[in-house]
Structure 1
Amino acid sequence: MKLSVLINNFNYGQYLRPCIDSVLSQDYPDFEVIVVDDGSTDNSREILASYGERILTVLKQNGGQASSFNAGFAAASGDILFLLDADDSFLPGKLARIAEIYDRNEIDWCFDRVTTDEGDPPPAQLQVTLFDKRDTLRRGGFPSLPVPTSGLSFRHNLLSQILPMSVAKDVVLSDNYIKFAAAYLGRGAIVETPLTFQRIHASNRYTGTSRAKTLRPRIMIATGLELARRYDGLHALGKSLVAGGIAETTSLLRLRSETRNTVAGGPFGDDAVNEVAFMAARKRLGNMLRRGQS
């Protein structure tokens, strides 16, 4: 069984070598590394060139993360495809252990949780939960899939039903669409024990940044629209995501105004006003989504 690791990169030159090296040092016997550079303007392309034929490099104009997924998939020849952000890395032994999970189980996808502690060693044992929420998704429910891009892997034939995907700037349409689509199309597994290191830093496009607060409703709306457009069985989920994104956007605008009026004249700046509004909006959205879960 051949594996393909699809690394997407945009101006992450400072993290690129640890990322690529974490894959090249894997002990699995048959895999390829494909790095898609999405129009970087730093030293990324010089770093990629230094690896020669050890990796397959796809150079393209900047088009966003979704376009990088599409380009990597088009170049891949593996039976199992892994996604990896260029600022993250795989723990030693990940490829072999995930491949074994595919061998032992009739699954179409496998998501492994991540650690944000770079010093974490590979786990001695894995906790694997088989996951089949296809009926829940058809009813418009929201199964929990709390795994970022770098923890995702798929059988090639499943991902061929998802990619190529529509493109959008930045990360507005990216891994959430892929995760929900995969869970709708097939049976999977979640590895509860981290096999991937996710790096949290000042240049993150979403995770751990203040931008996440304003990006989240845009992601929900874009993801919901695309899922409903692409899959007949996901109309209910798509509508729920769009409604949630609109509700959160509306709540943020209204609550920000209300909060500003409440704290006017006090020792609070815009950051405090925004944070209070976001906390209230998240609570309202969480209550709404829980009512739609199964």
Structure 2
Amino acid sequence: MIKVRPLLSIIITCYNYEMYISECIRSVLSQDYDNLEIIVIDDGSTDQSWEKIQEFGEKIIAVRTANRGSLKTCLKGLSLSRGDFIYFLDADDVLAEGALAEITSYLRPDVSKIQFMLLPIDKEGRPIGNAFPSLQPTADSEPLIQSIRKKGYYDTPPTSGNIYRRDVYDGLGDMTYERAIDGVSYLLAPFVGRVVSIDKALGKYRIHNANLSAFSDISSTRMKTYVDRFMGRLHHLAELVQSRCAGTDRVEVRTDYAYVMELNTMSTVVDGKRPSIGQISAYIGAVMRENMGTKRVALCLFGLALFLLPNATARQLAAIRIDPSRSRQMRSRLKRAFSS
């Protein structure tokens, strides 16, 4: 008797990625998985993306919409899909050879999410760093739930490193505070099933000028936007857990998460001010409460640097925290600052 594997829907959303969309689609078509649907949504691209997408003919389901942004485009793709599991793959990213063969055994009813590492590549596809995030192979959701309760998040890859059981996306309701499809979904997944972490790079995450530009603005307004989105996700999660997870303890949302305090501190710095001793002390206290080992040390040093360094240098340090690609430019400035 032949066992039919679960239907996997891969949804690729594209906006002005004519340089990358064909490679992305080919990386999916080359996979060894026989129960697959590929849905490609062009979000009103103004370049040749739609023409590139149409070249694949009946091998994919291709739809073009007016430009509506990432979240609405993903929701459109979700509405068209039939899969038991859903994988949103960014059009500039690539699914690694043999990736789906690696995850096949995890496509089970008790698994709510599969997450794997991504290898960063440049616009030509050359590796430019180590795979991230660092994941330990496990199928235990409890540590992730504890991390959410303690920190407000757990370590997870960007969108292209996650596959979700379909029902995780069901009944999410209003997400007007959000920009991405998987913001609250990644938080909900551990509460509704097992989250499988795979310590292998099964995808490639492209870093190029278009997505780096998203980090170019480090204004206090942007910091506030990040805080509002972070808190919006947690309040939304608390509602979903209460309504969908009978017998599970409520998610208590706090205001003293280290992530929130860090953003508020950086906001002070980018406004040209020096954080107060009380602000730094509260941030370091939150870091000590939420972290261990080298990460605790590194974040405490980061907080002290924001307080001690001249504002211009502290601003650059905050920029690196938001966009790590700036670190090479910053090393020489830090060296001069600490030696003066």
State the TM-score, normalizing by the size of structure 1.
0.75
Name the structure 1 match of 2:163: 153
Identity %: 26
CA distance in 2, matches of 1:136, 1:219: 22
Structure 2 residue runs without a partner (length 5+): 1-5, 128-134, 243-249, 275-309, 324-340
Given that 2:13 and 2:74 are in contact with CA atoms closer than 8 Å, whether structure 1 keeps it comes out as yes
Name the structure 1 match of 2:186: 179
Name the structure 1 match of 2:26: 21
Q: What's the secondary structure of 1:128's corresponding residue?
A: coil
Q: Which of 246, 249, 266 lines up with 1:252 in the alignment?
A: 266
Name the structure 2 match of 1:289: none
Please tell me whether residue 82 in structure 1 is matched to residue 97 in structure 2. Answer: no
Name the structure 1 match of 2:283: none
Structure 1 193/45 Cα, relative in aligned 2: closer, same or farther at 3 Å?
same
Q: Shift of the alpha carbon at 1:71?
A: 1.0
Q: What's the secondary structure of 1:108's corresponding residue?
A: strand
CA distance in 2, matches of 1:213, 1:129: 38
Q: Which of 12, 27, 34 lines up with 1:7 in the alignment?
A: 12
Q: Shift of the alpha carbon at 1:49?
A: 1.6
Given that 2:184 and 2:237 are in contact with CA atoms closer than 8 Å, whether structure 1 keeps it comes out as no
Q: What's the secondary structure of 1:198's corresponding residue?
A: strand
Name the structure 1 match of 2:232: 225
Q: Shift of the alpha carbon at 1:174?
A: 4.3
Structure 1 residue runs without a partner (length 5+): 121-125, 260-267, 283-294
Letter of the 2:12 partner, please give it.
I
Name the structure 1 match of 2:315: 274
Instruction: Give CA deviations for 1:30-71 in whole Å, capped at 9, x if unaligned.
Output: 201111222211111111122111111222222221112211
Query: Computing the radius of gyration over CA atoms, which structure comes out larger, 1 or 2?
Result: 2
- Structure 1 residues 104-183: aligned runs within 5 Å: 106-117=110-121, 118=125, 128-133=137-142, 135-136=145-146, 139=149, 141-162=151-172, 166-167=175-176, 172-183=179-190
Name the structure 2 match of 1:291: none
CA distance in 1, matches of 2:31, 2:48: 25
**Runs of 4+ residues deviating >6 angstroms:** 279-282
CA distance in 2, matches of 1:241, 1:26: 44
CA distance in 2, matches of 1:94, 1:236: 34
Q: Shift of the alpha carbon at 1:4?
A: 0.8
Q: What's the secondary structure of 2:12's corresponding residue?
A: strand
Instruction: Give CA deviations for 1:270-289 in whole Å, capped at 9, x if unaligned.
Output: 9745214557999xxxxxxx
CA distance in 2, matches of 1:248, 1:56: 43
- Higher relative contact order, structure no. (Cα contacts within 8 Å, ≥ 6 residues apart): 1
Letter of the 2:34 partner, please give it.
P
Q: What's the secondary structure of 2:196's corresponding residue?
A: strand
CA distance in 2, matches of 1:63, 1:196: 26
CA distance in 2, matches of 1:161, 1:190: 25
Please tell me whether residue 210 in structure 1 is matched to residue 216 in structure 2. Answer: yes
Letter of the 2:266 partner, please give it.
L
Letter of the 1:210 partner, please give it.
S
Structure 1 240/68 Cα, relative in aligned 2: closer, same or farther at 3 Å?
farther
